[in-house]
Copies of this chain bind each other. A is one copy, B any other.
């Protein structure tokens, strides 16, 4: 599984790595795409198109939002990126290659907790057995109340 974009590696390395990833995926390694890829590896976890746009825009001022979306689409098609709709208006994008995990979303404070995929395997197995349905969800979101908010129950803790 090795960290695809060398999460810890130096920026230049990430750059070269990005170029290779794009080429391997049969995509042209344009500066825009490389940057989006780097942005994804920099903001590991989950990012909205808007956040990516800002990150990338900071180092390539001319870039257009539409390009970011088109790149994310291409990367998703190439299997390099996954999209997750956490139900909060904006889709979250994430690099594939990081350990599979799902999310617990706190409805009070918006906190995100990651749950390793392993916890879901039994359920997925059962679903496969009982319904013949093969889950491909790389990201699942479960809404609820996080430990923190559970304590100060009535507290206002909005996002």
Contact = CB atoms under 8 A, between A and B. Distances in A.
Interface stretch (A7-15, A26-34, A35-43, A125-133): A125-133
A70 B135 CA distance: 34
Contacts of A122: 122-123
A127 B150 contact: no
A63 to B, nearest CB: 26
Interface stretch (A16-24, A49-57, A73-81, A138-146): A138-146
Nearest to A123: B123
A2 interface: no
A1 interface: no
Contacts of A146: 132-133
Interface of A: 85, 87, 104, 106-107, 113, 115, 119-120, 122-124, 126-127, 130-137, 140-147, 150
